[in-house]
Amino acid sequence: MDFRQNYFELFGLPVSFAVEQVVLQQRYQELQKSLHPDRHAAASSQQQRMALQYATYVNEGLATLKSPLKRAGYLLQLAGLDVRSEANTTKDVNFLMQQMEWREALQEANAATDPFAVLNSVRDEVGQARDGLYQRFVSAWQQGDADSLAQAHECHRQLQFMHKLLDEVDAMEERLDD
């Protein structure tokens, strides 16, 4: 058990935004088998604690590599960028204006004749923009120079906004269903 491995090394995967989800899941199951409590029942309490800590590390790794947003942030962290800082807000005025338009559309959905149509429209628009941002992120991250990594970091900040907005769309849809 080596806690110094990054999540890609842990699962035996190349450091890349593209992750074979089937392979990730297979490797996860293999690791979980080796960490099952029954395998460590005769071990010392310290060894059992270490196995539990490693199982937690494996679970965190799986969650990170399964999620495109978390995986993008993790890649930036591996490149030495701080993605958790409170100062990580986008300064792209055009993006912020687009965010305001989408939020206004969400507010107006409550009063719309067909709020579900409005929500679907916002979801589609944001989803397309999100997919384009992921493409820009991958392109910038793969270049790897300082300027490109700064662009990838900006994409990640914007992706965080978009994922939050999509969560809000889902929550509003659930409220309307009730």
CATH code of 22's domain: 1.10.287.110
Q: Do 104 and 51 belong to one domain?
A: no
The reply to whether 108 falls in a domain is yes
- Distance between CA atoms of residues 178 and 174, nearest Å: 7
Phi, psi angles (nearest 5°) of residue 18: -80, 120
1-36 burial, b at 16+ Cβ within 10 Å, e below that, comes to: eeeeeebbebbebeeebebeeeebeebbeebeeebe
Give residue 170's pLDDT band: very low, low, confident or very high (50, 70, 90).
very high
Q: Do 41 and 100 belong to one domain?
A: no
The reply to whether 171 falls in a domain is yes
Is residue 175 classed exposed, middle or buried when 0-12, 13-18 and 19+ CB atoms within 10 A define those classes? exposed
- How many domains would you assign to the chain? 2
What global pTM score does this model have?
0.88
The reply to whether 34 falls in a domain is yes
Q: Do 61 and 113 belong to one domain?
A: no
Residues belonging to the chain: 178
10 touches 60 (CB < 8 A):
no
Q: Do 60 and 11 belong to one domain?
A: yes
For residue 59, the enclosing domain spans 7-66
* Residue among 75, 84, 77 at smallest CA distance from 157: 84
Type of residue at 96: L
Tens digits of per-residue pLDDT, 134-154?
Answer: 999 999 999 999 999 999 999
Q: Do 103 and 146 belong to one domain?
A: yes
Instruction: State residue 41's pLDDT score.
Output: 66
Tens digits of per-residue pLDDT, 75-126?
Answer: 999 999 988 865 667 778 999 999 999 999 999 998 899 999 999 999 999 9
* Residue among 62, 65, 97, 68 at smallest CA distance from 156: 68
- Distance between CA atoms of residues 92 and 61, nearest Å: 31
Q: Do 110 and 146 belong to one domain?
A: yes
CATH code of 149's domain: 1.20.1280
The reply to whether 81 falls in a domain is no
The reply to whether 88 falls in a domain is no
- Distance between CA atoms of residues 48 and 37, nearest Å: 8
